[in-house]
Amino acid sequence: RATQLQKLASWRGTDRQCPQGPADAQKDGDICAAAQQKSAAAEDLEAKTAMRSFLRRFSSQASRKLHILQLGELAPMPMLLLEEALLRCASDNFLVLVRGTAPATVVLGIAGKPRKMCNLDIVAARDAKLLKRFSGGGTVVVDDSCFFASWIVNTDFAPCKAFPKDIMRYTGPIYADVLNRLQASARGDDGVLVENDYVVGDRKFGGNAQSITSGRWLHHTSFLFEIKPENMELLALPEKRPEYRADRSHLDFLVGLGELGIGMDAFEESVIQTATDLADEAVMGEDAKARVQDLVASSGGWEEVMRLAKPRSRFVDQDSSPILGDTTVSDAIAEIESAFRR
């Protein structure tokens, strides 16, 4: 009888008896509900604390001063050009937080082929723009229902190898912590990381890609807050799919964080809280923007920075040929400058 009670009173593999003792447990040997709830809450807190401790230890060997840039709404092209400039022409650590804009834009990885990845008849009918970013990864449709987070850091910011899978093993627990703060459940050994995707349950909520240079790396993610059927119509079913996706359509495969009751404001704040815990020092607000503006001024202005960065992001046609425009970079610079003045 004592052995039976001991087994029934265990919680998740740890012996935790009912606070009132076995004698007060129900005669059928059930552990008391109060003890279960208390144990579950304690384990949840323990898990969150352990994850945050892990993240701090994982980065404890480097100077981890982090500049957090909250730029509000920014179109995809100026956002990508800014990322390329910070990756190639700066040596500080940055976390860039941006909210998407309408209309919808189809963004492909640097090796993406529109004829394979897009429903081009629908793209043409809606006059949707095709934009190739400088990083790898798949094809996404972005608009004002997306939130973007971009880590642009030195390789010693986090002592992980500068390879995509190693970087994602570092960022996976970061975004698991972000969701834990919002009381959202995650799955997978790395919290939300499943086959290189950010996933809740068996549905993907964030698309990500990396770009790695000598001494620095970038990991950027587009987080979906609403899955719009009209946007999904722009995309073909990719030939290469993760095993857990199988042949599910975009609508069945993706989930918006809004469906989980998470708002964009709360998500951004949670990202900032996790990043602040991770860094030795977090520079935010006008101070973070001023740091970038000082770096740009010392380099001769945004035009010179863009010349030095040699950006690879560009609008393309259905055959992946660049659509050349004299005003593309200058217009993007104007939008970037406006974002830094907000």
SS3 7: helix
Instruction: Please state whether the predicted TM-score (pTM) of the whole model is above 0.85.
Output: no
**138 is written with which tokens?**
């798949």
pLDDT on residue 326: 64
Cβ–Cβ < 8 Å for 226, 145: yes
- Residue ranges of domains in the chain: 61-341
**85 is written with which tokens?**
């400039």
CA distance 170 to 160: 7
pLDDT on residue 43: 54
Cβ–Cβ < 8 Å for 256, 231: no
Instruction: Give the CATH number of domain 61-341; options: 3.30.70.260, 3.30.930.10, 3.40.190.10, 3.40.50.2000.
Output: 3.30.930.10
Low pLDDT (below 50) residues in the chain = 1-36, 51-52, 54-62, 187-190
SS3 35: helix
Burial 150-189, CB ≥16 within 10 A → b, else e: bbbbbbebbebebebeebbbbbbbbbbbbbbbbebebebe
Tell me which long-range contacts 8-12 makes (C-beta under 8 A, separation of at least 24): 9/35, 11/35, 11/36, 11/39, 11/40, 11/43, 12/39, 12/43
CA distance 207 to 147: 11
Span 118-135, pLDDT tens digits: 999 999 999 999 999 999
Q: What angle do CA 92, 93, 98 make, to 5 degrees?
A: 120
pLDDT on residue 171: 96
User: The dihedral of CA 141, 73, 206, 132: what is its sign?
Assistant: positive
pLDDT on residue 262: 96
Span 317-327, pLDDT tens digits: 999 999 977 67
pLDDT on residue 324: 78
Task: Report CA-CA distances (Å) from 26 to 16, 19, 21, 39, 274.
Answer: 16, 13, 11, 18, 42
Span 93-111, pLDDT tens digits: 999 999 999 999 999 999 9
